[in-house]
Structure 1
Amino acid sequence: MQQPSLKALTTIVEEISRSGNPEAIMSRIVQQLRALLQVDVCSLYLCTPDQQHLILAATEGLSASAVGQARLQLDEGLVGHIAASLSTLNLGDAPTDDRFVFIPETHEMPYHRFLGVPLLHLRKLVGVLVIQGRERIPFAQETEAFMITVASQLAGTLYSLQSQGNWYERAPSSSAYRRLKGQKGAPGIGVGQIWPLRPHRSLDQVAEASCSDPTHEREALETAIQAVADDLESSSSHLDQHLPTDVHALFNVYQMMLQSPELHRSCCELIDTGKSAAWALRQTVERMAHQFQQSEDPYLQARGEDIHNIGQRVLNQLLSRDSLSKTLPEGDLILAAELISIADLAEFPLQRIQGIACTRGSTLSHTAIVANALGIPAVMGLDSFEPEQHAQSQMVVDGHRGECILNPPAALLHEYRRMINEDQRFMQDLERLRDEPAISRDGFEVSLLTNTGLLADVTPGLQHGAEGVGLYRSEIPFMIHDGFPTEQEQYSLYAKVLHAYAPRPVSMRTLDVGGDKQLPYFDISETNPYLGWRGIRFSLDNAQLLITQVRAMLRANAEYGNLKLLVPMVSRIDEIQTFRRHVEKAVSTLEREGVGVGMPPIGMMIEVPSAMLLLPRLAPYVDFVSIGSNDLTQYLLAVDRNNPRVASLFDHLHPAVLVALEQIQKQCESLGLPVSLCGEMASDPAAVLLLLAMGYDCLSLSAFNIPRIKHLIRSVSREELKPLLESTRLCQSEADVRSLIQPLLEAAARRHG
């Protein structure tokens, strides 16, 4: 048999990646491999999502009627042996092997030679790929090597469909019960009928086209932009009585994007070259969104979604489509779409919106922020869900778990309704804790601060009892402008945030951009932006920008006195020394100008391991420390949490991370430095118990997690947690740590259930 080349393998992989549905993907695999390897049989077995069985998913050579019917346990037969042992099996006479199991519906008795390889993706079993022949000799070593290579190339493609289970639910009806995984958008549980918000045409469907009258195209675009601006203004008024005042800043951000000179200029330049307004809009929106989306910061990535959202609304206006139908079914609604804008929400009676389900987006989308403010459960980034196919079907939106249940059975629906009632009673109980301290049963008090980056985030923090802002991300004004914002523009924004929280402290992080967070007007190209020109490195190399920002923050603080300056990505002593000199010079200059500003506290973020190791030598130059748990975990573990191949290895309860956090806390205590921790870790109940035991008395987290974390802290005794911390030092993995903590979390829940 002629051995296939790597070029042939590349062709197969490319063709498969272009297939449109699960059946086409799997059929193409077995068809191509059977022909390429010149064998009698090629079969694909996939593991069920519960990892209990292997099912024949596609075959060329065995009986077609066995597809979807032939089922093996993971240790049953030759295929099951491969799955259980995760090893290749190459036999010359398979039916004589003791492990062979005959499956009558496959009609495989004529075949003797057998070669099977496991399909593994990110250490998880996806399935088994098998070839068979009539000869009674094993396959050649070259063929075995090629099959192993094929398996490694195809495992990732097959994993996404295998884990969803659609491949053996041949044609799920619109009434089929399904669980859909996504990301947590806003907490809570909602039940209602699905109401799709289907864009009449999406931006990525716009094809390149020319125009014969550029003037007409420019006028049409400007009319569409103005129509969207008017809709936003109307929607903002409609939500006035329901939203906290500052959340309306989201509408202002949308308006700012609409009026962006870059949006108008770039579109018009393309139109003037003869392109259609729709194509010009798509090109401009994608380019602007790309600046945000290539950032490693999920918060900034979410701003790219907002630009796409605005672009979609302009496109719908541009194409003169009808507005959303107002003929709604009776009862509660679950709004579903790729993305749902704030203005979309305003078109519905808010009391009827029980949940939001989006096939795109993230926890940090503007939609998620508003859903939190409105108390609407939301799940973002749902996989394999097309809302239009399930209009008016019943759905449960579980914002606590980040999943949706389509057409839930009666018993499951009853259980969810019971949970909704319990959740409502629980949140009412937590409301009474808003002005109470987060103090453990034995008197250890923790300050709970909030993270924010938009003025719109301010009110939820205050409403949920935040004692200040532990991390204010100052990048947003820089990202949404057509150029560097002026000192006065920055001053106006910072003053509003400081005023809203006064006299509570607000830690404002200086500009954290660089190779990984591109500005649309300042291009940086780097091979490895995670280790590149970013954070304080970028700011010090662009001192005029840093000084302008520091002056704006100092001026904003002159009246309120609650500013704390926070320096990102410190890795060297001279960085914090130079930063402090710039602040001292700015204070001196402003005071000479007649502005009495004073020197605010200066803190540094510990995100880079070198800052942790240099802490005693950095201490003389800082007044406080803030641990960025997301980046510190990423750098300690060498894991990019945005890379799907290694994201499962990212866990802030990794033993190495816990060792580092204990070391930082002890050093800060001995140095007399106040220390806080921000990031996802501060919202993880299991992590909070360990942080409490370590002695951390200040956490900064999302506003909507504050009540639950406060409730947890008030439910436990710190002294009782210290033995738990001691036990975690013996754990060998994050899974061991979580198993150790789980009983205590359950006990805390029962104590105040």
Structure 2
Amino acid sequence: MLGLLRQITQEVTDAQSLPAALDIIVRRVRRAMRTEVCSIYLVDNLTSEYVLMATRGLHSTAAGSVSLKEDEGLVGLVGRRAEPVNLENAQAHPSYCYLEGTGEERFRSFLGVPIIHHRQILGVLVVQHEEQRRFDEGEEAFLITLSAQLAGVIAHAEATGAINSISADQEKMAADVRYKGVPGSSGVAIGRGVVVFPPADLNVIPDRTTDTPETEISDFYQALEAVRTDIRLASDRISEHVSEDEKGLFDVYLKILDDDSIAGEIVRKINDGQWAQGALRQVIQAHVKQFNAMDDSYLRERATDLRDLGCRILSHLQEKGPKIKERFSEPSIIIGEELTASMLGEIPIHNIKGLVSVKGSGNSHVAILARAMGIPTVMGVLDLPYAQLDKVELILDGYLGQVFTYPSDNLKENFQQVVNEERQLEKQYETLKDLPCETKDGHRLNLYVNTGLSADIGRSLDRGAEGIGLYRTEVPFMVRDRFPTEAEQVQIYRLQLEGFAPAPVTVRTLDIGGDKALPYFPIEEANPFLGWRGIRVTLDHLEIFMAQIRAMIKASADLHNLKIMLPMISNAAEVEEALALIRRAFAEVKEEGYNVKMPRVGVMIEVPAAVYQAKELASLVDFLSVGSNDLTQYLLAVDRNNPRVASLYSSHHPAVLRALYSIVDQVRDEGVGLSVCGEMAGDPMSAILLMAMGYDVLSMSATSLPKVKAVIRNITMAQAQDMLSEVMELPHAEAVTQTMTRLMREANVERLIRPSKTTIE
């Protein structure tokens, strides 16, 4: 069974169109289960109807023209229950609905299983038999297993454009189609999409039409010749080390690239109007599919060779083609399967209106970067057909995490009002720059910023930042091809310390591992988030740790505003060891004649173990800073970068709120500073709760700072504490968010962070 499942799944993955993929399923399932009918009904998201999309056994003319309402028939019953329906006499069931024109009246037995992807019903897979019998447990298990495998394949194929969606025609697509993701950065963007993708990856190449096929063909032939040259050079380099038979493999590669073979097919597709990269993808995938379907294992392995050749040609094509930044003639909404910081780095910031990523969550690094730059962003839009959206008009709603394609004039007008109100709010924020973050009844809260680049200094001071609560030292480490020297680090840290002097600057020691890797210091682990990261790495490499601490202390000479923070602390012994090393580094720098003072030292609370040792840790250091991003993901066992579980990640989860309050309660009499430096600090709703708990410093992106200040200055501490009391006993995160939304509206502060014009729920 497993081999059959793999074959069917692979064939569907390689299909070039939705009808072809579905026909593969019904044909192979009907044969495998020896049934007389196999059919697939898919949900049309625009009408919520189940459309008969493919069948073997019913009248073929019915495919695409017959449908059932969501509450109609046995197919609708399977969808509503989201579980199999197995009947030996389907026509006797009260939910049975005869579909005229299908010829199903003679089939008695019925087995339907739902096709589910991320809790969403994509459709129903049905088998039927004329004989009146109940399908056995083995047959039902096979169909369930197959539908589970195919759900992800179908959803991904629709999203990447490898197979078209049910409503692919332009008339239906114009009807304000909405796709749901998760909010990454608040705000609204209206504009045309530009699809970006990583280099030399055939699977993510979108289809595009071309008006200049001659140029595309010329570029293709140049890339083809470059690959032929590469192959000949590779053959020459190893000719002395292999036999003639083995060397003959390179001749096979060259023959594959002949005009009479694959190259000719690609040129024909270009002449039909497809751009060179899209034509290459289509032809290579079609041939890979043929090889994968072969029974001979040797021939199946040739699929790998063919895919490699395709990637080599693509690489040369992309060198010839326009670079990412050359594709932007106007501000656009950037779309990708998985946006990365390096992709954004190639695009002029002023040309980015918004960001949409199919993968990732609201706490992915790209989302954090977007919030820092004030760019509206939606993450984890798993079902978005992103490859079909190049140059398509879009609306991005970063408040509710949704994307609209082909928006109507009415919808654009509604969202334009939101954009106009956002501009008015920005003008209000400008008046707050030099005002303290103080509640109406006189409680003072300090607002710091998180930084990582020298460019952050000016932006942060312009927004009224009172200090740096987190300087990420891994950023300057990441942009180099080696570890920076001690002297280089002194210059880097000095810029931050001078820029904010005399205000405090908290510099975190190197925090690599997990999802932060250095290209010259790779860490390969099966479970990196629970592995060698943060303080664990630097204490194992004293040469790295001591050079960094010495550089920090030297950079603080004559300024005396340095604070050092230790990441990923899970026990007191790590703190004691690090403190001894810091004191040693301080003594060495003093001996060299620098005018320095012993910096205040603190630890990050970001793993559950540290929460339960907060009192002991506070007795060792000068301050504690909660890293809410990691603490939330560790408490909830949710990888914040995984879109499959992104909806489970919430800093408003009762367990997170109680852990945060527990930290305050434990260290209340220890005389240490207490701050939060995760993304939670920059969320005005969360900031109210954190202030009410007793945190005295919140550190956030510069973009978030004015919003938090605006809210805090318009409530009293008493109001904040009342809000905290009301939500602390609530049972789940959604209840906390809904209650806080209501309370903020009643306090008349919701208007300060979100336009009053409601976006579409």
Matches of 2:659 and 2:498, distance apart in 1 = 36
Map of 1:204 onto structure 2? 201
1:472 equivalenced with 2:475 (yes/no)? no
Residue identity opposite 2:110 in structure 1: F
SS in 2 for 1:485: coil
Matches of 1:599 and 1:506, distance apart in 2 = 14
Distance 1:629 1:67, change over 3 A: farther
Map of 2:415 onto structure 1? 416
1:687 equivalenced with 2:682 (yes/no)? no
Map of 1:489 onto structure 2? 488
Quick check: 1:482–1:521 contact (8 Å CA) kept in 2?
Answer: yes
User: How far 1:649 sits from its partner (Å)?
Assistant: 1.8
User: How far 1:554 sits from its partner (Å)?
Assistant: 0.6
Residue identity opposite 1:692 in structure 2: M
Map of 1:567 onto structure 2? 566
Matches of 1:141 and 1:369, distance apart in 2 = 48
> 1:642-672: CA deviations, max 9, x gaps?
2333332221111111111110121222322
Map of 1:170 onto structure 2? 168
Distance 1:745 1:161, change over 3 A: farther
User: How far 1:571 sits from its partner (Å)?
Assistant: 0.6
User: How far 1:626 sits from its partner (Å)?
Assistant: 0.7
SS in 2 for 1:591: helix
Matches of 2:15 and 2:454, distance apart in 1 = 45
Distance 1:386 1:498, change over 3 A: same
Matches of 1:690 and 1:315, distance apart in 2 = 54
User: Which stretch of the first structure deviates more once superposed, 523-532 or 15-24?
Assistant: 15-24
SS in 1 for 2:455: helix
User: How far 1:491 sits from its partner (Å)?
Assistant: 0.9
Quick check: 2:490–2:552 contact (8 Å CA) kept in 1?
Answer: yes
SS in 2 for 1:712: helix
SS in 2 for 1:467: coil
Map of 2:12 onto structure 1? 16
SS in 2 for 1:704: coil
Map of 2:659 onto structure 1? 660
Distance 1:602 1:68, change over 3 A: farther
Distance 1:576 1:385, change over 3 A: same
User: How far 1:524 sits from its partner (Å)?
Assistant: 3.0
Map of 1:334 onto structure 2? 332
SS in 2 for 1:671: coil
Quick check: 1:41–1:60 contact (8 Å CA) kept in 2?
Answer: yes
Map of 1:143 onto structure 2? 139
User: How far 1:496 sits from its partner (Å)?
Assistant: 0.8
Distance 1:335 1:681, change over 3 A: closer
SS in 1 for 2:699: strand
Quick check: 2:193–2:394 contact (8 Å CA) kept in 1?
Answer: no
Matches of 1:87 and 1:737, distance apart in 2 = 32
SS in 2 for 1:560: coil
User: How far 1:522 sits from its partner (Å)?
Assistant: 2.8
Quick check: 1:603–1:622 contact (8 Å CA) kept in 2?
Answer: yes
Residue identity opposite 2:85 in structure 1: L
Map of 1:25 onto structure 2? 21
Quick check: 1:715–1:751 contact (8 Å CA) kept in 2?
Answer: no
Matches of 1:472 and 1:462, distance apart in 2 = 15
TM-score (norm 1): 0.76
Matches of 1:456 and 1:315, distance apart in 2 = 35
Distance 1:367 1:96, change over 3 A: closer
Quick check: 1:197–1:337 contact (8 Å CA) kept in 2?
Answer: yes
1:426 equivalenced with 2:425 (yes/no)? yes
User: How far 1:567 sits from its partner (Å)?
Assistant: 0.3
Quick check: 1:190–1:354 contact (8 Å CA) kept in 2?
Answer: no
Map of 1:458 onto structure 2? 457
Matches of 1:72 and 1:633, distance apart in 2 = 43
User: How far 1:505 sits from its partner (Å)?
Assistant: 1.6
Quick check: 2:373–2:703 contact (8 Å CA) kept in 1?
Answer: no
Map of 1:91 onto structure 2? 87
Quick check: 1:185–1:378 contact (8 Å CA) kept in 2?
Answer: yes
> 1:224-270: CA deviations, max 9, x gaps?
xxxxxxxxxxxxxxxxxxxxxxxxxxxxxxxxxxxxxxxxxxxxxxx
Quick check: 1:191–1:333 contact (8 Å CA) kept in 2?
Answer: no
Distance 1:6 1:211, change over 3 A: closer
Residue identity opposite 2:97 in structure 1: V
Map of 2:533 onto structure 1? 534
Count of aligned positions:
644
User: Which stretch of the first structure deviates more once superposed, 406-415 or 161-170?
Assistant: 161-170
Quick check: 1:675–1:696 contact (8 Å CA) kept in 2?
Answer: yes
1:512 equivalenced with 2:523 (yes/no)? no
Map of 1:157 onto structure 2? 153
Quick check: 1:515–1:525 contact (8 Å CA) kept in 2?
Answer: no
Residue identity opposite 2:320 in structure 1: L
User: How far 1:90 sits from its partner (Å)?
Assistant: 0.9
SS in 1 for 2:150: helix
Distance 1:72 1:471, change over 3 A: farther
User: Which stretch of the first structure deviates more once superposed, 395-404 or 490-499?
Assistant: 395-404
Map of 2:282 onto structure 1? none
Q: 1:345 aligns with which of 321, 344, 348?
A: 348
Distance 1:127 1:664, change over 3 A: farther
Map of 1:226 onto structure 2? none
SS in 2 for 1:596: coil
Residue identity opposite 1:561 in structure 2: H
Quick check: 1:668–1:674 contact (8 Å CA) kept in 2?
Answer: no
Residue identity opposite 1:502 in structure 2: A
Matches of 1:327 and 1:738, distance apart in 2 = 38
SS in 2 for 1:438: coil
- Aligned 1:242-391 pairs, distance under 5 A: 319=320, 333-334=331-332, 336=334, 344-345=347-348, 355-356=353-354, 384=384, 391=391
Matches of 2:619 and 2:317, distance apart in 1 = 57
Map of 1:128 onto structure 2? 124
Quick check: 2:363–2:640 contact (8 Å CA) kept in 1?
Answer: no
Matches of 2:635 and 2:323, distance apart in 1 = 52
Map of 1:448 onto structure 2? 447
Residue identity opposite 1:171 in structure 2: D
Matches of 2:195 and 2:703, distance apart in 1 = 26
User: How far 1:335 sits from its partner (Å)?
Assistant: 6.0
Distance 1:674 1:321, change over 3 A: closer
Matches of 2:719 and 2:605, distance apart in 1 = 28
> 1:306-349: CA deviations, max 9, x gaps?
xxxxxxxx978953869988996xxx753657576566538xxx
Quick check: 2:199–2:318 contact (8 Å CA) kept in 1?
Answer: no
Residue identity opposite 1:608 in structure 2: V
User: Which stretch of the first structure deviates more once superposed, 550-559 or 677-686?
Assistant: 677-686
TM-score (norm 2): 0.75
Map of 1:522 onto structure 2? 521
> 1:200-242: CA deviations, max 9, x gaps?
x94436896644999xxxxxxxxxxxxxxxxxxxxxxxxxxxx
User: How far 1:56 sits from its partner (Å)?
Assistant: 3.4
Matches of 2:462 and 2:671, distance apart in 1 = 32
User: How far 1:380 sits from its partner (Å)?
Assistant: 7.3
Map of 2:262 onto structure 1? none
Matches of 1:515 and 1:372, distance apart in 2 = 21
User: Which stretch of the first structure deviates more once superposed, 59-68 or 441-450?
Assistant: 59-68
SS in 1 for 2:54: strand
> 1:55-92: CA deviations, max 9, x gaps?
43433333445445544454432222222223321111
Map of 1:740 onto structure 2? 739
Map of 2:34 onto structure 1? 38
SS in 2 for 1:605: strand
Q: 1:103 aligns with which of 96, 99, 103?
A: 99
Quick check: 1:185–1:399 contact (8 Å CA) kept in 2?
Answer: yes
Distance 1:553 1:183, change over 3 A: farther
Give the unaligned 5+ runs of structure 1.
215-313
User: Which stretch of the first structure deviates more once superposed, 691-700 or 163-172?
Assistant: 163-172
Give the unaligned 5+ runs of structure 2.
203-222, 234-314, 757-761
> 1:695-734: CA deviations, max 9, x gaps?
2232122211111222222233332343433333332221
Map of 1:547 onto structure 2? 546
Residue identity opposite 2:659 in structure 1: A
Matches of 2:619 and 2:324, distance apart in 1 = 61
Q: What is the aligned-residue RMSD (CA, Å)?
A: 3.9
SS in 2 for 1:120: strand
Q: Percent sequence identity over matched residues?
A: 38
SS in 2 for 1:692: helix
